[in-house]
Structure 1
């Protein structure tokens, strides 16, 4: 694990379960001061929990104000909060589309916008956007989700061009098929099919994703920006 030069303040959105929770725990264990937003459930011990719906700008602003008061300005932002509304195109309603876009894309934009100005003033910042292997591979029944996640690549690269001279990086981590509560409900045949398609021969763990995010968030990773880091066992082959 790379050293932390000082106890920086990290915000993980959607930190109550799955990948988000694992990332919050990993940053906490590495010596960072960690806050996590959530809408239900709770956050790990030792992490400042802040209730926030990222589709509401007022709640986003209030969450940042709370974190800044309790821990200090956010220096590392991990934009992880997201939702799914999976169904085939011909069955997908406007609400199915808009709900996913509002959270995964517009909500991420709101959080990034609020975090960026203090980072620019401090001349330090790490922004990590959590995308998905389906962003560039595509997936039947996930036109809304894959579109929202693909857009994060453009967001990170535009941020890199805007903020790069201020020592603020913006990168994307694209997890593949990760073992979480969400995937545990899938049938054995579906999981077996994915294992066959993944060169690593196994599903990923939340720790695999957390370690990749820790690497990009570290002070020593300041010359990496605008990158897409797949954590998918080779499933997407960089796509």
Structure 2
């Protein structure tokens, strides 16, 4: 496996107990970074830390990204322990439900927005000042092709991911002269545990739009994210990187 040089870098990965976040954390550790895993599921988080400990310096913290106070406090703990924060990967997210907009439950709509959108706002708000103090940072947000195309019967998820793309573009421009890059990855269907919350009809709809005719893998996600989080990615910010098997049309 090819790795990018992340020696001495300190990374936070949200949603790291499983799926894309776990794969990214593993790749970072193998590339020399110190990684702190953030997730809300304490049991899964403990298991993830145990599995990843063989690869390097890994820590974990149960953090609800929808709660800014909790996020800010957890970021301070990373800073105190490691002395700096260089990399932030926002992969925490939920799918919501598959139903028409007219029938979409208000509580689930608000929950999706709190986690998928506000969660990224919270982590960036808490971590960016630390990066500014050091004059260096790499932020990678995970959105979705749904944020560009809009999937039917997935209005909350589509809206939240579209907003993540716009937030990334805005913050990337804000920090463009401070040594901090902010980019976003927009995957199509990736084979993760989140698909358990999505109907077979919805999965088939998304697969039918992919010219390659298959799901992406977390390994493919971690490869792209590792480059975006490295020093080698120095002239790209506010950009959207599709990982869609050919689905992307713009």
In the superposition, the TM-score normalised over structure 2's length comes to 0.89
Match of 1:80 in 2: 91
SS across alignment from 2:176: helix
- Distance in 2, matches of 1:192 and 1:150, equals 22
Distance 1:98 1:8 in 2: 35
Residues of 1 paired with 2:150 and 2:32: CA distance?
37
Q: Which residue, 111, 124, 133 being the options, matches 1:112?
A: 124
Cα deviation, residue 10, structure 1: 0.7
Greater Cα offset, 219-228 or 39-48: 39-48
Corresponding residue SS for 1:164: coil
Length, aligned pairs only: 238
Give SS of 1:234's match: coil
1:100 matched residue in structure 2: 112
**What's the C-alpha RMSD, in Å, of the aligned pairs?**
1.9
Q: How has the CA–CA distance of structure 1 residues 185 and 126 changed in structure 2, closer, same or farther, with 3 Å as cutoff? A: closer
| Greater displacement, 120-129 / 82-91 | 82-91
- Answer yes or no: is 1:10 the counterpart of 2:11: yes
What residue number does 1:135 align with? 147
Q: Counterpart in 2 of 1:57?
A: 68
* Match in the other structure for 1:173: 185
Q: What does residue 102 of structure 2 align with?
A: 90
Within the candidate set 136, 141, 146, 2:158 is matched to: 146
Deviations for 1:115-143, whole angstroms, at most 9, x for unmatched residues?
11111111111111110010011111211
CA contact (8 A) 2:95 2:198 kept: no
CA contact (8 A) 2:94 2:194 kept: no
Range 57-66 or range 218-227, more displaced: 57-66
Measured at CA, do residues 186 and 96 of structure 1 come closer, stay the same or move farther in structure 2, by a change above 3 Å? closer
Counterpart of 1:226 in structure 2 is 238
**1:182 corresponds to 2:183:** no
- CA distances 1:63-100 after superposition (whole Å, capped 9, x unpaired): 11221222232111011111122222111122121111
TM-score (norm 1): 0.92
* 1:2–1:218 Cα contact (<8 Å) kept: no
State the SS of the aligned residue for 1:37: strand
- 1:39 is aligned to 2:53: no
Quickly say closer, same or farther: Cα 1:49–1:163, change in 2 above 3 A: same
User: What's the CA shift for 1:2?
Assistant: 5.4
1:104–1:184 Cα change, 3 Å: closer
8 Å Cα contact 1:68-1:74 kept in structure 2 = yes
Structure 2, gaps ≥5 residues long: none
